[in-house]
A and B are shown apart, each in its own frame.
Chain A
């Protein structure tokens, strides 16, 4: 792994972020709706003079390109602007909510990859067996069913039938002041349903993908060599084959990360998870441009970082890629 490779990927990531910021800025301005009207509405309505005053206050009266220039300038200084609605710095708003979102996204990612790959590997062992069939069915269903439906079904199931997992929020109110350990367990307990709901779609995809990838790899000559050495079956599967089969899985994991984040925003709304999801949803309705842009900025930054990590893990998994650029 060369330092120049890392450096180039970082620069590439930054350029990508810049492009994303510009694109978001323009797209959101193309969408219908006027924040001044919404803000005036919150204040109990107003005339044209008030609207102009609001526009002037938030710099919305300047030409679009000038606004873009001002926005880029402040981003470079680490300032994401003020929320129109909360009258707080966007960075503070997001800072308070990004932790739960990252926790949810990463748990779902880890859960879906570990469980999905495990199921896929087991299914690949007997491609015509029962488990293989079950994985295919679950994969298809999991892929076809929308997250909010899964979420709502799980809420119904666990709220009334088996009340063992909380279906709402991230922490129990009565445990807010408990010790770190108790609170961690409490958060993990709350995390189960949202993380599982989010993981389910991707879990199914990973299971199907790793089954296919494993079947492919298990037919290769080096697997026969490993068998000819007398390697036991678990070593054939999890050592010799999985390492090779993991490359397409890594690719998809990297590509899916963006979808996972947008899925997380939905799941957060369903389970009332205190992350960026609700903030994004409400800010869009309120035409709170700086907040929407800020959420998009962080979401894109997470995707860019995830892609960088994917590239790095690719090189760890496949020695043939090391030393290449």
Chain B
């Protein structure tokens, strides 16, 4: 049986003042119903662009899907009409964004905003949709939901707003729920609550979740499988436990050693030295080379492919050669 959502060799290009750059290159991912796929990587590696591609929301211009396929239950979303895509968005595909403070419209009540999502996809009137919205607010743990539904976003805290976003996202029981760094803007205790909520929602609604984060800790708690991205490519992919316990790619190893609790004893928060190269300066070789301790001549001349060299797939020459 094929997966619920399959991204195959996706390529996304942006027109910039440096010419056309490739923001995503040969990205392939799959998610099954009821499963949580974690997508990790540093800022700018293409996590949000991957998510927006699935939603059909790549800002265009300057961006475009330049190749590959995104199949939802076999239907290629890169080829469907805008009308079809609109019908899927919010109904089958839903997304929670990184910025709870600005993702709700300031001039409408939160109840109305959730009700709108319901009315766009179900044949119900406003009164019924609003009642459903109140029930959803209750479901996502917002106290006195009747009153809160009549509040405007600015009257709610960041955590509350993210709960509203979640309520809106699950209002039509989507099959795929993308959570793009849903907790980055929130404080730590609220983060844990939001993750608990996402877990419950998944249990109740059976949605496939794509959880985007740069927090390995969140991955270890939430994800069944993990894809690690770097400079627009997936560089390692496996079950969450495998990636956490046996990271292959030097970048993944670096990421994991940066988590104090999982690292080798030291509690000091570390970072991988160096920065992600800008897209227009990606050369023919491995994009991680400049920051890599295992780099050799091959790394500069050819891009490593995502292949299983033993434990699980990783895109690294050193892993392939058995040097690490």
- A317 vs B107: C-alpha distance when bound (angstroms): 7
Contact with A230, one of B88, B103, B106 (Cβ below 8 angstroms) = B88
- Whether B105 and A224, one on each chain, are in contact in the complex, defined by CB atoms closer than 8 angstroms, is no
- Whether A230 and B102, one on each chain, are in contact in the complex, defined by CB atoms closer than 8 angstroms, is no
Contact with A225, one of B86, B91, B104 (Cβ below 8 angstroms) = B104
- Whether B86 and A230, one on each chain, are in contact in the complex, defined by CB atoms closer than 8 angstroms, is yes
- Whether A227 and B89, one on each chain, are in contact in the complex, defined by CB atoms closer than 8 angstroms, is yes
- Whether B105 and A226, one on each chain, are in contact in the complex, defined by CB atoms closer than 8 angstroms, is yes
Q: Mark A220-231, 1 if CB is under 8 A from B, else 0.
A: 111011111111
Among A230, A243, A244, A320, residue most surrounded by chain B Cβ atoms (within 10 Å): A230
**B14: interface (CB < 8 Å):** no
- Whether B102 and A228, one on each chain, are in contact in the complex, defined by CB atoms closer than 8 angstroms, is no
Identify the closest chain A residue to B107 (Cβ).
Answer: A243
Size bin of chain B's contact surface: 20 to 34
When A221-B99, A319-B152 are in contact, do A231 and B120 touch as well, CB less than 8 Å?
yes
- A144 vs B95: C-alpha distance when bound (angstroms): 47
Q: Mark A194-208, 1 if CB is under 8 A from B, else 0.
A: 000000000000000
**A282: interface (CB < 8 Å):** no
- Whether A221 and B88, one on each chain, are in contact in the complex, defined by CB atoms closer than 8 angstroms, is no
Identify the closest chain A residue to B57 (Cβ).
Answer: A227
Q: How far is the CB of B153 from chain A (nearest CB, A)?
A: 8
Q: Provide the residues of chain B in CB contact with A125, threshold 8 Å.
A: none
Q: Mark B167-195, 1 if CB is under 8 A from A, else 0.
A: 01000000000000000000000000000
Contact with A228, one of B89, B99, B106 (Cβ below 8 angstroms) = B89
Among B57, B88, B105, residue most surrounded by chain A Cβ atoms (within 10 Å): B105
A-B pairs, top 9 by smallest CB distance, nearest first, are A230-B90, A230-B89, A229-B90, A221-B102, A222-B105, A319-B152, A229-B117, A221-B103, A230-B86
Q: List 18 A-B contacts (CB under 8 A).
A: A221-B102, A221-B103, A222-B102, A222-B106, A224-B103, A225-B103, A225-B104, A225-B105, A227-B57, A228-B55, A229-B116, A229-B120, A230-B87, A243-B108, A317-B107, A320-B106, A320-B152, A320-B154
Residues in B lying within 8 Å of A, measured CB to CB: 55, 57, 86-91, 94-95, 97, 99, 102-108, 116-117, 120-121, 152, 154, 165, 168
